[in-house]
């Protein structure tokens, strides 16, 4: 059997990070088994589905590198096939027309509520021999088994059983001829030859009803794995209150796709104590059994640390390319070739500290002129320090501008002036970079070169 899985987002907004994790689990599971990972856009809710949401979801999946092995399927385009199956069930006596009016359905809901039960259809047209009322378009309802039990052996939730008497006869085809979600999902999963359904556990209850539809059609029921949702740090379901929930926002804030994937993988799936897991390793290790049963808590500090790790690992040119548009929008101008050269040369030092690409872009500004000094930096430039810098200036005129020569010069200077190295380095750092924190000062000076470094010192001592 070839494993075939799918990710089935409803295009009503951006790609939620919980959904991104569902996509990732499906993807890794498929790759682990040398199977196929497919994408199905569940756009049957015509009012809430938008082309912008489809684009946003595709863009985020592409960013994450979770790409489908076959052309995406758009569910709405298959509505005729769904209706055909509803009619097949009708003809086989496994479904029936229901002519209930909205008032009758409302009365049923009220009765259920009065008895403290969830709303349910009372089956009034199930075996009815009443003649069809004229002028009313019927819906098609599924004849759900009324006795016995249905059991799902879920790969994450374990064995879950419900009484069939708890499931009412759901609508398969609405009066306007459009199929319901419950029917479309089953027909599509069958036609796409899906072997494993890995999705959020908010769909667990649907799987009992879907099980019955598969059985009525004589189709194999796929295996299920319902994964717990993601919660915020306070334990409540992840929502906007906890910060960004869209994958696109994380891309914009400067997270690397590989860091995001590693983080989402670890959120709800584990392999011992391993925290840093490459995609290659994840494909080797991924099993449904490794998925935790309780909701994972989103922890931005862990994500930041992972992102910092992947930034340090990343190729400098790639980091530069990611930073460039951010730098240019911060500067509101293009970066000159010389500045680009300096930033790229300084990338090893810059990337040591950055937790996001936005932070990296911001720290790159030390290679760009003119820059602003914040208050802390300005406070370093008191008269005493300025006097030190003035004296130091002479010594820098003749020294070779490489890291070790600069270090020796500075140490000697500090010795002669009878001050600690830090006392000279701190104002010098402010003069050179405008900041109190930066990559190695000698590295920055060596990259900037004598002329630029001296002119930066000049600028503060004048």
Q: How far is the CB of 217 from ligand GLU (least distance, A)?
A: 17
Nearer to ligand GLU, 58 or 99 (CB): 58
**Among 4-12, 214-222, 306-314, 362-370, the segment contacting ligand GLU (CB under 6 A):** 4-12
Contact by Cβ (8 Å): 353, 363: yes
Q: How far is the CB of 185 from ligand GLU (least distance, A)?
A: 5
> Does residue 143 carry a catalytic annotation?
no
At 393, list the tokens: 């200036």
Look at residues 431, 433, 415, 311 and name the one whose alpha carbon lies nearest to residue 367. 433
Q: How far is the CB of 181 from ligand GLU (least distance, A)?
A: 7
Please identify which of the residues 36, 240, 345, 355 carries the catalytic annotation.
240
Contact by Cβ (8 Å): 261, 64: yes
Q: How far is the CB of 253 from ligand GLU (least distance, A)?
A: 24
Ranges of H-type helices in 365-440: 375-378, 383-398, 403-417, 421-433
Helix or strand or coil: residue 226? strand
Q: How far is the CB of 9 from ligand GLU (least distance, A)?
A: 5
d(CA 198, CA 256): 25
Tell whether residue 8 is a contact of ligand GLU (CB under 6 A).
yes
At 36, list the tokens: 């196929």
* Cα distances (Å, whole numbers) of residue 38 to 29, 181, 229, 358: 12, 18, 21, 33
Tell whether residue 410 is a contact of ligand GLU (CB under 6 A).
no
Tell whether residue 10 is a contact of ligand GLU (CB under 6 A).
yes
Interface of this chain with ligand GLU, residues 202 to 261, rule: CB under 6 A = 203
Contact by Cβ (8 Å): 182, 193: no
Q: What is the CA radius of gyration of the chain?
A: 31
Selected from 9, 35, 246, 254, the binder of ligand GLU by CB under 6 A is 9
User: Exposure string (b/e) for 343-375, b if CB count within 10 Å is 16 or more?
Assistant: bbbbbebbbeebbbbbbbbbbbbbbbeeeebee
**Among 3-11, 82-90, 421-429, 447-455, the segment contacting ligand GLU (CB under 6 A):** 3-11
How many of the other CB atoms lie within 10 Å of CB of 444? 24
Nearer to ligand GLU, 25 or 63 (CB): 25
Selected from 31, 42, 356, 361, the binder of ligand GLU by CB under 6 A is 42
At 304, list the tokens: 């930041």
Selected from 167, 185, 225, 446, the binder of ligand GLU by CB under 6 A is 185
**Among 8-16, 331-339, 402-410, 436-444, the segment contacting ligand GLU (CB under 6 A):** 8-16
Tell whether residue 50 is a contact of ligand GLU (CB under 6 A).
no
Look at residues 236, 301, 459 and name the one whose alpha carbon lies nearest to residue 369. 459
Q: What are the residue numbers of the active site?
A: 240
**Contact set with ligand GLU (CB under 6 A):** 8-10, 42, 185, 199, 203
């Amino acid at each position: 059997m070839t494993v075939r899985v799918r990710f089935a987002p409803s295009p009503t907004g951006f790609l939620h990070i919980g959904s991104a994790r569902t996509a990732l689990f499906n993807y890794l599971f498929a790759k682990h088994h040398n199977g196929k990972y497919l994408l199905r856009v569940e756009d049957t809710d015509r009012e809430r589905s938008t082309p912008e949401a489809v684009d946003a979801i595709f863009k985020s999946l592409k960013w994450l590198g979770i790409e489908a092995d076959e052309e995406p399927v758009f569910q709405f385009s298959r509505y005729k096939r769904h209706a055909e199956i509803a009619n097949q069930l009708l003809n086989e006596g496994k479904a029936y027309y229901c002519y209930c009016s909205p008032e009758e359905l409302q009365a049923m809901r009220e009765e259920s509520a009065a008895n403290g039960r969830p709303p349910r259809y009372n089956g009034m047209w199930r075996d009815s021999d009443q003649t069809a009322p004229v002028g009313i378009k019927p819906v098609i309802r599924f004849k759900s088994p009324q006795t016995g039990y249905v059991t799902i052996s879920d790969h994450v939730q374990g064995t879950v059983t419900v009484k069939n008497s708890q499931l009412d006869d759901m609508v398969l085809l609405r009066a306007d001829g459009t199929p319901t979600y419950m029917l479309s999902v089953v027909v599509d999963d069958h036609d796409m030859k899906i072997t494993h359904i890995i999705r959020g556990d908010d769909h667990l209850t649907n799987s009992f009803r879907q099980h019955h539809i598969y059985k009525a059609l004589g189709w194999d029921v796929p295996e299920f794995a319902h994964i717990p949702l993601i919660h915020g740090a306070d334990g409540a379901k992840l929502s906007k209150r906890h910060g960004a929930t869209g994958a696109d926002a994380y891309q914009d804030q400067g997270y690397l796709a590989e860091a995001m994937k590693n983080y989402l993988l670890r959120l709800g799936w584990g392999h011992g104590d391993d925290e840093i897991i490459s995609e290659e390793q994840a494909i080797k290790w991924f099993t449904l059994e490794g998925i935790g049963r309780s909701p994972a808590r989103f922890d931005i500090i862990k994500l930041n640390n992972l992102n910092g790790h992947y930034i340090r690992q990343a190729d400098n040119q790639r980091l530069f390319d990611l930073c460039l548009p951010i730098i240019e929008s911060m500067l509101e101008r293009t970066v000159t070739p010389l500045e680009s050269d300096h930033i790229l040369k300084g990338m090893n030092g810059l990337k040591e500290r950055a937790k996001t690409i936005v932070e990296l872009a911001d720290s790159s500004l030390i290679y760009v002129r003119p820059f602003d000094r914040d208050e802390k930096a300005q406070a370093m430039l008191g008269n005493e320090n300025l006097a030190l810098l003035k004296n130091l200036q002479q010594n820098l005129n003749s020294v070779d501008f490489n890291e070790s020569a600069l270090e020796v010069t500075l140490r000697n200077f500090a010795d002669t002036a009878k001050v600690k190295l830090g006392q000279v380095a701190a104002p010098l750092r402010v003069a050179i970079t405008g900041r109190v924190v930066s990559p190695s000062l000698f590295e920055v000076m060596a990259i900037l070169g004598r002329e630029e470094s001296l002119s930066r010192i000049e600028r503060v001592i004048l």
